[in-house]
Amino acid sequence: MIKKLSIVVLILTNQMIMAQNNEAKMKNELAQNPLIAQWNTPFDTPPFASIKTEHYKPAINYALSEAKQEIEAISECKDDPSFENTIVALENAGKLLGKITSLFFNLNESNTDETMQELAMEISPLLTKHSNDIYLNQVLFSRVQKVYLQQDDLPLTAEDRMLLERTYKAFVQSGALIDAKHREEFRKVSEELAILTLRFNQNVLADNNSYSLLIKDKKDLKGLPKYAIEAAAELAKSKKEKGWVFTLDAPSYIPFITYAENRNLREQIWRAYNSKANHNDTNDNKEVLIQIANSRLRLAQLLGYENFAAYRLDNTMAQNVETVNEFIEDLLQASLPFAKKDLKQVSDYANANGFDSNLQRWDFSYWSEKLKNEKYAINPELIKPYFRLESVKQGIFALAQRLYDLEFRENTTIEKYHPDVMVYEVWDTKNDKFMAVLYMDFFPRASKRSGAWMTSFREQRKDLDKTDVRPLIQMVCNFTKPTSKEPSLLTFEEFNTFLHEFGHCLHGILSDCSYESLSGTNVYHDFVELPSQIMENFATERAFLDMFATHYKSGEKIPQELIDKLIASERYLAGWLSIRQLFFGIIDMNWHTITKAYSGSVEAIERNASLKAELMPMIDSCMMSPQFSHIFGGGYAAGYYGYKWAEVLDADAFSVFKAKGIFNREVADSFRKNILSKGGKKDPMQLYKAFRGQPPTKDALLRRCGFID
């Protein structure tokens, strides 16, 4: 008996020792994990070289555990709820988790692989569950609600009040008021939705990367500009192919669809581009997007809204579905007569030049570009030499210096996540203050999704000790790559994209807020595009172009004649381009104003949208919805109208710069003070009126487009 007992004790002792050893080993591994360890790096930037994909999961699990403890401490606090011990404490909870997940998900967009994508599928439900555990915590919500109801008796700043308002509303819109029997359904649907949106983006990326057009006969290159041919040759060489390879990445696809004389090949690549994630295979998104739309509807209805758009628009300048639909309809009616003239003009021109077929979608860019070049003598071979990427970058930096006293100092010692990336310290030279680190990632690759965007690895905030934590900003694009014969030369559209995304960067860089959730671009969706789109207005300003736009070979400044042509061409196809944007907005609203689960075809939704805002027949199997990452895989659901909404704002706002001078420091200081630095501190209309002195009107936009005199 004693001997048996001794054996049992020995076994238990060994098990305890093993458990302790495993725990010690785990703690040691966590201590060595670069995502958790202290970053002894310049400006606390991520040590990318040390971070491996296998580090994310244990680091996120650890950070989740820490975040849960922080939330429990707030919930179980014995003191009466106050702004500091509840609202501010919630704002500061989960900082480590946010630090790690910002890194992971931003890299999953810009430098991913299959392992990261699989891990994202595994991690996302954990994060959604954690979010639900916070917002469905009734004890925690009770504390938030008590502070919210006594706000009039509290000594709060305007920013404090906004944080309180946003926190309370976040709980309400995340299910805090849902009855107990429906909370589990809310949890389940929101977790499924997180997976579906990830899958949507992964399918688009996979389908985009799966296609390439190999041309072996040189005659099929006829019409293409030299830069496109050279890039295709280099891509073919990298793929060990003989000939020229074109892909669906914008720098490859756009020149081909615009200039290639071979109509059959134009049709082939157009169909491939416009049928992404719509081939009834493993990358098909039709069922995925229907599930997303239905899941969003269910969440909205659980929260008491008629549809998802009504739920989403509750936190916007527009505020409701009716306002958005009226806005789209007003602009549609203003645009349609001009769009019809644009289509007739291009069609007549094509017919007059020997085109004897009906104009199809793969013909429009080709013939409209020929007409544009004939009317304004503009083609990329004329324009691109003046827009060398390095010169454009320095010119935009110089503009930021002139307007906002910002200096961009390249830092080659800060680690980067890919060799293509360039890293800059941003300094306010007037106040000798460090403002941000800016990562600039310019060129397409298989590991990066298409498009262009700005995001951040860390957002600006002020810690409890009032230390100003400056942001780490990431700007990601897919510009024309340099070749062995030429540097990267941008099209005028790429130049505009650079200005646009850089405007978002300035919004993050110049942020001066106390709370991270209100800083930088954390504003209403239909306000966030103002700082980006206003920058595009500088694209044809002579005084700005003179700062950098010189021919990369001869060094001559861009001729005034060419600038005049660019300005004259700004209204070219303005009606056509306007209804295209409005068409996307209508698709978005159609998907997100359904009031019962949808089981019909995806094509039917698009055809319904086309009745209002399309002047050419739809092509079977070619649709926007299956690849519409903005709304099904990003943050623009029921918000795509915001691009046109912001056009109204940016045209109206830039009219002040035009009236007083595009470099006028009084105007620039006001824009920085009232818009760029304020983030979401106040209601955006208050911020806009503080800058403009009045609410915005559509007149400046309609005048810029040539729709009114």
Catalytically active residues are 501
Q: Quick one: how far is CA 692 from the chain centroid? A: 26
Query: Cβ(178)–Cβ(303) under 8 Å?
Result: yes
Q: What φ, ψ does residue 547 adopt, rounded to 5°?
A: -75, -20
CA–CA separation, 23 vs 696, rounded Å? 61
CA–CA separation, 346 vs 410, rounded Å? 46
Instruction: Report which DSSP code applies to 388.
Output: B
CA–CA separation, 632 vs 588, rounded Å? 9
Pairing mode, strands 422-428 and 406-410:
antiparallel
Most distant CA atoms of the chain, gap in Å = 107
CA distances in angstroms from 619 to 268, 270, 528, 581, 624, listed in the order given:
13, 11, 34, 18, 11
CA–CA separation, 257 vs 388, rounded Å? 23
Smallest CA-to-CA distance from 275 within 356, 670, 283 is with 283
The amino acid at residue 472 is L
Task: Count, in order, helices (H) and strands (E) of the chain.
Answer: 28, 9
| Exposed e or buried b per residue across 187-209, where buried means at least 16 C-beta atoms within 10 angstroms of its C-beta | bebbbbbbbbbbbbbbbbbbbbb
Smallest CA-to-CA distance from 373 within 232, 480, 225, 539 is with 225
Smallest CA-to-CA distance from 451 within 291, 636, 575, 242 is with 636
Ramachandran region, residue 456 (left: φ > 0; alpha: ψ -120 to 50; beta: rest):
beta
Instruction: Report which DSSP code applies to 517.
Output: G
CA–CA separation, 248 vs 453, rounded Å? 18
CA distances in angstroms from 438 to 397, 434, 504, 589, listed in the order given:
12, 12, 12, 34
Reported for 462-468, long-range contacts at CB under 8 A and 24+ positions apart, including other chains, are: 462/513, 462/514, 462/515, 464/88, 464/92
